[in-house]
Amino acid sequence: MPRSRIFFIAYHTYDEISAYLRNLTTVYSTISKFVPSIGTSIQGRAIYGVTITGTATGTKKKIFISGGQHAREWVAPATTLYIIERLVTLYSTDTTVRGILDNVQIFFTPLVNVDGYVWSWGGTANRLWRKNRRLNTGGSYGVDLNRNWNDHWGGEGSSGTPTSDTYRGTGPFSEPESAALSSYLTANGPFNGAIDYHSYSQLILRPYGWSSTLPPNDALAKTVGDTIRARILAVNNVAYTSQAAWQLYYTTGSAQDWYYGQAKVPLAFTIELRDTGTYGFQLPAAQIKPTGAENWAGFVYFAQAVISST
């Protein structure tokens, strides 16, 4: 049995996460599979994944979960791992989880920005690194992967300056990490729901980030986002805000807008995890479990909403 509960008392390195997922999916091999690589990073590291579904046969809906596009947001991959652990360990005993997994197939890429994440473990000077590790013209490093997607790429909320934290790259999908993720999603779609986990600010963001125009299904997305908020609040009384992404600030070239606009995922969200600024990107490890628990509750509802949606 994996040391599942112990695992979440600390943050873990790229290699430790890989080993944990390999072990977990070996133990729960009837419902989960480790994907050694969906593609490689600019520095040649594998971007690994996990797929989970129940033993029931028949047509199933699909959910895509990504985390860790920004290196410094350590609680985002930790939360995706928490959700993975809950799904596989509860499937045999929890009727709610069984009802979810027997009706959906879930694809996880818990750590997208693998090079940036490894770099952020390199000491105090690197801890707040955000971008990937591309060597740019001029000698600076990094492209913001969440400004590199091919949906309204190059617009407001991104930068053409390589030294900027929101540098969008030389073109849409110029980065192997975002390109790999989009190709993986396209190859395994169509998907019915998607969440991209980030930190911090405690927000549940729905499309669009690039425009204040309401998407065709905004009423449904708002209901789902508001209910995710309520389910999160009920666990630890921690308040998240449900809103359209542009209401935080305009973004272009984001994964969420690509999921919704290009991959045609009807329910696509970005969730910004704890906290609201006390610790920011350096959220203490003691908050991994409570952050995971409240977002597990939100995820359970989200998955049920995907199943029940047409």
pLDDT digits (tens, 9 = 90+) for 27-37: 999 999 999 99
Angle (deg, nearest 10), helices 75-90 and 14-27: 10
CA angle, 137 then 138 then 144, to 5°: 60
What is the sign of the dihedral through the CA atoms of 285, 289, 292 and 295?
A: negative
Which residue, chain included where needed, has tokens 């989960």?
32
For 82-139, the pLDDT digits (tens) are 999 999 999 999 999 999 999 999 999 999 999 999 999 998 999 999 999 999 999 9
Q: What is the mean pLDDT of the chain?
A: 97
Could you tell me the maximum CA-CA distance found in the chain, to the nearest angstrom? 56
Band of residue 243 on the pLDDT scale cut at 50, 70, 90: very high
Q: What's the mean pLDDT in 245-254?
A: 97
* Residue 200 in this model has a pLDDT that exceeds 90: yes
Distance, CA of 28 to CA of 165 (rounded, Å) = 39
Q: What's the mean pLDDT in 250-277?
A: 98
| Whole-number pLDDT of residue 310 | 67
| Percent of the chain with pLDDT strictly greater than 90 | 96
For 266-310, the pLDDT digits (tens) are 999 999 999 999 999 999 999 999 999 999 999 999 999 999 996
Band of residue 238 on the pLDDT scale cut at 50, 70, 90: very high
Q: What's the mean pLDDT in 219-230?
A: 98
| Percent of the chain with pLDDT strictly greater than 70 | 98
Catalytic pick from 85, 177, 272, 294? 272
Distance, CA of 279 to CA of 300 (rounded, Å) = 27
Please tell me the pTM assigned to this model: 0.97
* Residue 4 in this model has a pLDDT that exceeds 70: no
Distance, CA of 170 to CA of 168 (rounded, Å) = 7
Burial group, residue 308, by CB count within 10 angstroms (0-12, 13-18, 19+):
exposed
* Residue 1 in this model has a pLDDT that exceeds 50: no
User: How many Cα neighbours within 13 Å face the side chain of 148?
Assistant: 27
| Secondary structure (DSSP) of 74-135 | THHHHHHHHHHHHHHHHTTT-HHHHHHHTTEEEEEE--S-HHHHHHHTS-GGGTT--S---B
For 12-32, the pLDDT digits (tens) are 999 999 999 999 999 999 999
Query: How much helix, strand and coil, in percent to the nearest 5, is found in the chain?
Result: 40, 15, 45
Distance, CA of 263 to CA of 191 (rounded, Å) = 8
On whether the CB atoms of residues 256 and 280 are closer than 8 A, the answer is no
Q: Which residues pair with 64 in a beta bridge?
A: 107, 194
* Residue 3 in this model has a pLDDT that exceeds 60: no
Instruction: Delineate the domains of the chain, giving CATH numbers in brackets.
Output: 4-132+174-308 (3.40.630.10)
Asked if 156 is an active-site residue, the reply is no
Band of residue 2 on the pLDDT scale cut at 50, 70, 90: very low
